[in-house]
Amino acid sequence: MVGRAYLGIDVGSVSTNLVVTDEEAKVLATVYLPTQGQPIAAMQQGLRDLSSLLSNGVTIHGVAATGSGRMLAQALVGADIVKNEITAHATATLRAVPDVRTIIEIGGQDSKLIVLNHRVVTDFAMNTVCAAGTGSFLDRQASRLGIPISDLGQLALQAKKPTRIAGRCAVFAESDMIHKQQVGHSLADIVAGLCEAMVRNYLNNVGKGKMIVSPVVFQGGVAANVGMRKAFEESLMLPVIVPPYYHVMGALGACFLAEEVLGRTNFRGFEVADACCRTSASPCSGCGHACEVVSFSMDGRTVAHWGDRCGKFSSSPKDSIRKCAG
**Which residue among 188, 219, 242 closes a domain?**
242
**Which residue among 242, 265, 288 closes a domain?**
242
Residues whose CB is less than 8 angstroms from the CB of residue 324 and which lie 6 or more positions away in sequence, other chains included: 278, 295, 297, 300, 301, 302
Q: Phi and psi at residue 192, in whole multiples of 5°?
A: -65, -40
Helices (H) and strands (E) in the chain, counts: 9, 13
pLDDT for res 234: 95
> What CATH number corresponds to the domain at position 78?
3.30.420.40
78 and 175 part of one domain: no
150 and 172 part of one domain: yes
> Strand, coil or helix: what is 299?
coil
pTM score > 0.75 for this model? yes
Q: For the chain of 326 residues, list the mean pLDDT of each consecutive stretch of 10.
A: 85 92 95 92 96 90 94 93 96 97 88 94 82 74 84 89 77 78 85 89 88 95 92 96 95 96 92 90 79 86 81 57 34
Q: How far apart are CA 193 and CA 199, in angstroms?
A: 10
Q: How far apart are CA 276 and CA 36, in angstroms?
A: 19
110 and 216 part of one domain: yes
Q: How far apart are CA 36 and CA 134, in angstroms?
A: 17
40 and 104 part of one domain: no
174 and 111 part of one domain: yes
pLDDT for res 213: 95
104 and 83 part of one domain: no
176 and 140 part of one domain: yes
Domain count, the chain: 3
41 and 106 part of one domain: no
286 and 207 part of one domain: no
pLDDT for res 91: 97
User: What secondary structure does DSSP assign to 114-178, as a single string?
Assistant: EEEETTEEEEEEE--S-STTSHHHHHHHHHHHT--GGGHHHHHHT-SSPPP---SSHHHHHHHHH
Containing structural domain, residue 193? 98-242
What does each C-alpha distance from 272 to 40, 81, 87, 95 come to in angstroms? 10, 18, 27, 30
Amino acid of residue 311: G
102 and 209 part of one domain: yes
187 and 115 part of one domain: yes
191 and 211 part of one domain: yes
